[in-house]
A and B are shown apart, each in its own frame.
Chain A
């Protein structure tokens, strides 16, 4: 089955550490997104990419960076993690021309 995968699934790290979350997809979709989810706040867009050379900031990009290594891979980095970046992080994909997004299983990140 065509799928969206995320690694790691769970991660505990300390304040100030650099951490990378990875997303891979076999759906053949051009567009990829990174969201974070916090209780009561819903999903908020961090970064999105419409193709390998097109990367855009979302509503909460401060403290994060991304890399689109290939059509199928989109990584999210926290350069210097802080406790309020503790959240559930989701990668999503969509086809060109479609608004329907499909989500990976999520990464639960805890920053102590």
Chain B
């Protein structure tokens, strides 16, 4: 079983809709969770992090964490064509190392 699993997609959403991305992890002791955005041919860019159960909002992005169920999600509200990218979920394993999922590709249709 992979440490961090994501649906690879592609997830296609119309402009203005909500994109919902999910990530599950295997290490119940994981404490810190991150979402990175990666445009094609570019490097990953940190967009959100969450450490506590519940929701965390930053602009059009909301991260949701449920440690009991071992999942973390990312909602993108009012999706724009510029949100078309691959979104990587990362989980702090130990010693400040991160384990990354393979990513979910999102396409926003204009």
**Residues of chain A at the chain B interface (Cβ within 8 Å):** 31, 33, 35, 40-45, 48, 50, 56, 58, 90, 94, 98-106
Contact = CB atoms under 8 A, between A and B. Distances in A.
Contacts, number: 47
B97 interface: yes
B34 A48 contact: no
By DSSP majority rule, is chain A's interface helix, strand, loop, or mixed?
Answer: strand
Contact of A48 (B97, B101, B103): B97
B25 interface: no
A33 B44 CA distance: 14
A100 B34 contact: yes
Contacts of A103: 43-45
Given A42-B88, A90-B44, A99-B34, A50 B103 contact: no
B46 A101 contact: yes
Contacts of B98: 45, 99, 101
The 8 A-B residue pairs with the shortest CB-CB distance in the complex, in nearest-first order? A42-B102, A103-B43, A43-B100, A42-B100, A99-B32, A99-B92, A103-B44, A106-B43
